[in-house]
Amino acid sequence: MATSLLILDDNPGSLELLSAALSREGVTIYTASRPSEALELVREKRPQLVLTDLVMPEMTGLEVLSRIMEFAPGTDVVLMTAHYTTETAVEAIRRGAADYLEKPIRIPVLRERVGRLIEEARQRQASGTEEAEFEGLIGTSPRMGEMFARIRRIAPHYRSALIQGATGTGKDLVARALHRRSGVRGQYVVLNCSAVVETLFESELFGHVKGAFTGADRDKPGLFEAASEGTLFLDEIGDMPLATQAKLLRALQNQEVQRVGSLQARKVNVRVIAATHRNLKQAVAERQFREDLYYRLAMVEIQVPSLAERKEDLPTLIRHFMEKFAREYGKPVRGITPRARMVLERHAWPGNVRELENALGHACMMVEDQEIDVADLPAGLLAPDAADGGNGSGRAAASIGMGGGDSAEGEMGGSFADHERQLVASALERARGNQSKAARALGIGRDALRYKMKKYGLL
């Protein structure tokens, strides 16, 4: 399938060099030395990719980008500049750029970055849709496609990012995708802000020295140091105390930390991703969150859609989770009956993808045939008010239990692991400790049962 690339640069030597470097079989290359000429070529040829210089006499690369996004938003635009700054890169990403490269560009790096975009464009052409799975995130809806594209564009350049979305939408998966796509060499370090005692926040983030406080019997590096050259993910940042927020802001601005009890500042190089299910703008207005920290974190924002906003992804998600749990439980689950599918389609899913995952995990554990039926689904989904979006749907979700990466699990009734442990324990109790009988009741093998008993301390 033919793929085309347009290169725009007002320097004839650069045009020739770039064209030669990016020449490859199956890719048609067009060149232009003036922005107006390039815009006409984009309108006429509709290339999948445009590579443009940032500084040009007629108009800037950012202006060219904005014009292209007006009439060809599906085109990937890559900007090049000899004057790279994070702020300019982020502004380019906000306007829709697919990547941002610093001159002089090493030819292998150029070929790799542009080649990846060309390959992704080919895959989209071949399938006619966006990919169903992207770094562990599942979906083919326009909302998910837009989010995947935004992650790809942001990842190489961001220094801080804010992920917002309801509980259970997969904000932790978005954070991991940003980390993996960023290309950083360091670790991915997580702090759940809702699970830390207020007095320990500073020590957790910045570390402490021996004798700094009672119980500090040795020097301890904080999470900022652990994440140096990598990524620090601050989950549920809306629960961070105001006093800690001020110190976090200084660490972000200066890229240095000071251990509790120490006078020495230590340099770090950390990308910070924050996530929350709360409305931080409202929290700022209510003086529960620092405005300056909000704008520092929200240099780049990603909004994760709820499942209700992308209901067209439901069939893909159902298939994905059925296959996942069928493998995990060693069961020959092949599908789902029409009436069971109807129950899933009618449900409001207030707990989002996490709730759906837990429901299908329960169903795959309980099913005895090759198809999931209504009787295999959690009882909460079958309640009369389970299909509406009001208070009833919240009560239905609570009986299913919520688990996964986002925090605030308790408000939705516990994790999937808690729910699974309860099922196993109940089956053993009914079987009076007979493992073979309990395994048959659960529809799993005896080895699988013993694995879960060991996992949950039931042996």
What confidence tens digit (pLDDT) does each residue in 255-267 have? 999 999 888 899 9
pLDDT at 449 over 90: no
pLDDT at 129 over 50: no
* Percent of the chain clearing pLDDT 90 (strictly above): 50
Residue with tokens 């309990």: 438
What confidence tens digit (pLDDT) does each residue in 423-448 have? 888 888 888 888 888 877 776 777 77
Please give the average per-residue pLDDT across 67-72, as a whole number. 84
Give the helix ranges, DSSP H, for 29-85: 35-45, 61-71
In the beta sheet, which residues pair with residue 266? 257
Burial of 438 (0-12, 13-18, 19+ CB in 10 A): buried
For residue 329, what are the CA distances in angstroms to 228, 325, 361? 39, 6, 9
Looking at domain 142-303, its CATH class is alpha beta
What confidence tens digit (pLDDT) does each residue in 133-147 have? 889 999 988 889 888
More confidently predicted of 123 and 269: 269
d(CA 233, CA 188): 7
To the question of domain 3-128 being in CATH 3.40.50.2300, the answer is: yes
What confidence tens digit (pLDDT) does each residue in 90-127 have? 788 778 888 888 888 889 989 988 888 888 777 666 55
pLDDT at 395 over 50: no
pLDDT confidence tier of residue 180, bands split at 50, 70 and 90 = very high
Residue with tokens 């014009």: 67
Type of residue found at 93: I
At residue 244, φ and ψ (nearest 5 deg) are -70, -35
What confidence tens digit (pLDDT) does each residue in 286-339 have? 999 999 999 999 888 999 999 999 999 999 999 999 999 999 999 999 899 988
* Percent of the chain clearing pLDDT 70 (strictly above): 89
For residue 304, what are the CA distances in angstroms to 174, 208, 417? 8, 35, 24
Q: What is residue 400's predicted lDDT score, i.e. its pLDDT?
A: 29
Identical topology for domains 3-128 and 142-303: yes
Domain 307-414 fold is Helicase, Ruva Protein; domain 3 (1.10.8)
Domain boundaries, the chain: 3-128, 142-303, 307-414
pLDDT at 401 over 50: no
Q: What is residue 390's predicted lDDT score, i.e. its pLDDT?
A: 44
pLDDT confidence tier of residue 385, bands split at 50, 70 and 90 = low
d(CA 395, CA 355): 12
